[in-house]
Structures are given as C-alpha cells and as structure tokens.
Amino acid sequence: MTYKKLYESFQKFIDQDKHFTESQQDHILKSFQDKRNKNIFRLSIILLIWSVIGISLDSLIIGGSIIGVIMQGLSWKYLLPTIIFSAVNFIFKSIFVKWYLKKEIPVKQILLAGIPYAGSASIIAYLVRKDPLYGAGLQHYMKYLRRRGFRKLCKLLYFKKD
C-alpha cells in the first residue's frame, strides 16, 4: 500500500468514523493537510510496521532462548541474542527517528523513541502535543490498522477471531 492510498484510507476512515463529531472530523482532516502532520502520519506507519517486525523477531529469539534454557540450563549465552537484538533495535530506531525528523526533537525524545514497543507511541504523542485532536484521530486510526492487521494474520493462520 502506498502513502497516497494510506492518506486516502485515513481521510475516509476519519470522515466515516462515528468516534468523532463532524466538527472534530473537519478539524482532523484540515490538520492532516499540513505537511508536518503528514510527516508524522508517515512516521507513525513506519514505526507501526517496525514494531510488528520487531515483535515477530523478538518472539522468535526469546522463544529460542527459553528452549535453550530449558534444554541446557540457565546460561547467559542463551539470553545474549535477545539482549543483542534489543540493543541493535534500540540503536537503529533512534538513529532512524533522528534522521527522519532532522533536528525537530530533543535527544531525550529520540532516545525514548528507541524503546521497543512503547517508544513509537511516546514519539508520536510528543509530536502531536500541540494538536491533541489530530493526535487522537491518528491514534484511533493506528488502532484500527492494528486490529485489521491482526484479523488478517488470524485469517492467514486459520484461527477464528471471536
């Protein structure tokens, strides 16, 4: 899916969503037209995808570590891949956010952005702090994308979601 399709999807989602009043929807869609807010939207999508990939890899590595510990006994060598992956993920995510946002945010926020799983939410919250209604719309859309992705994954794996 290209950014243009994602932009259209976001606009359609907000326009048809009953979570917000009509005036709130208009405000969110007007805010979305701002170049800075579109960059925040793209960053949100990138970090969402990054998190999904990170969780998948982390699960595999942690699972392998647990199996190693059970079969061979507690040893640092089985926990080392998890520690290395987490450190490398933190470093690359922090570097990416710094590069993507140029000098728009302080170092503290860049470091918070690198935290696995929670970092993405903290950086987006920081970036939309001046327009909380746009932030609420963006957050609502990201929840929708996660639920939609989860349903597709369950369908792919032949699980039925209640």
Percentage of residues in the chain having pLDDT higher than 70: 93
pLDDT on residue 34: 86
Return phi, psi of residue 17, to 5°. -75, 135
Contact of 20 with 14, CB cutoff 8 Å: yes
pLDDT tens-digit map of 11-49: 888 888 888 888 998 888 898 888 888 888 888 888 888
Q: Which residues make Cβ contacts (< 8 Å) with residue 123, sequence separation at least 6?
A: 43, 47, 97, 105, 109, 112, 113
pTM metric for this prediction: 0.73
The amino acid present at 47, given as its one-letter code, is L
Contact of 32 with 10, CB cutoff 8 Å: yes
